[in-house]
């Protein structure tokens, strides 16, 4: 479990099949083999650990359901260690289970940062609500507006400086994880409806 508060922006060192090696310092400090780390919002298990790097094995399932398959050496990545029972929950509950890959449509600077517009897969739209939470490449954000099959999030300068969302290109893919509570509510309602019919 994660919070969506990025601890470090690392850099891809190697991309293989199945190995992904990421350069980092803060997150590597206490991420031993077997630890869970969110890489661009995807929960991965550390298989090799060093003072300035971590290695992960990425399964075919994870590659097909996330944007990790598009990473190349030197690409920046958002990193977060898993939540502990004494951590502050500064963002929202993030599982590291990507629900789909969205596409950056626009980044519009403004006086307080920028507005980022993302087009999600159509099947995720029912879970995306104004003022609700969403994780974008592992970053916990609040949905500012819904616009014709897309949504906007407001980025403050700090978020733009410490995550990969500060300078995306139009058309870039981003990993999306919708609020897990909405998925549980949907499932419970579907089961109750089935029982009544």
Mean pLDDT of 11-29: 97
Q: Which domains does the chain possess?
A: 8-81 (2.40.30.20), 100-186 (2.40.30.20)
Q: Looking at the predicted structure, is the pLDDT value of residue 197 above 80?
A: no
**How high is the pLDDT of residue 193?**
85
State the pLDDT at residue 190.
87
Would you state the pLDDT for residue 23? 98
Band of pLDDT at residue 194, cut at 50, 70 and 90: confident
**Cut 0.85: pTM above it:** yes
> Rounded to whole angstroms, how far apart are CA atoms 81 and 57?
17
């Amino acid at each position: 479990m994660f919070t969506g508060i990025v601890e470090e922006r690392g850099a891809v060192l190697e991309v293989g099949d199945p190995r992904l090696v990421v350069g980092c310092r803060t997150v590597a400090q206490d991420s031993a083999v077997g630890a869970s780390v969110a890489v661009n919002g995807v929960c991965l298990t550390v298989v090799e650990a060093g003072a300035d790097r971590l290695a992960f094995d990425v399964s075919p399932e994870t590659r097909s359901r996330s944007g990790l398959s598009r990473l190349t050496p030197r690409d920046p990545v958002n990193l977060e260690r898993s939540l502990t029972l004494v951590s502050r929950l500064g963002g929202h509950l993030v599982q590291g289970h990507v629900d789909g890959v969205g596409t950056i449509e626009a980044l519009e600077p403004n006086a307080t940062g920028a507005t980022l517009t993302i087009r999600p897969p159509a099947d995720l739209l029912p879970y995306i609500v104004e003022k609700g939470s969403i994780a974008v490449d592992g970053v916990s954000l609040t949905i500012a507006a819904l616009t014709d099959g897309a949504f906007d999030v407001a980025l403050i300068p700090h978020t733009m400086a410490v995550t990969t969302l500060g300078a995306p290109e139009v058309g870039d893919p981003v990993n999306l994880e919708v609020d897990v509570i909405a998925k549980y509510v949907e499932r419970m309602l579907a089961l109750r409806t089935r029982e009544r019919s």
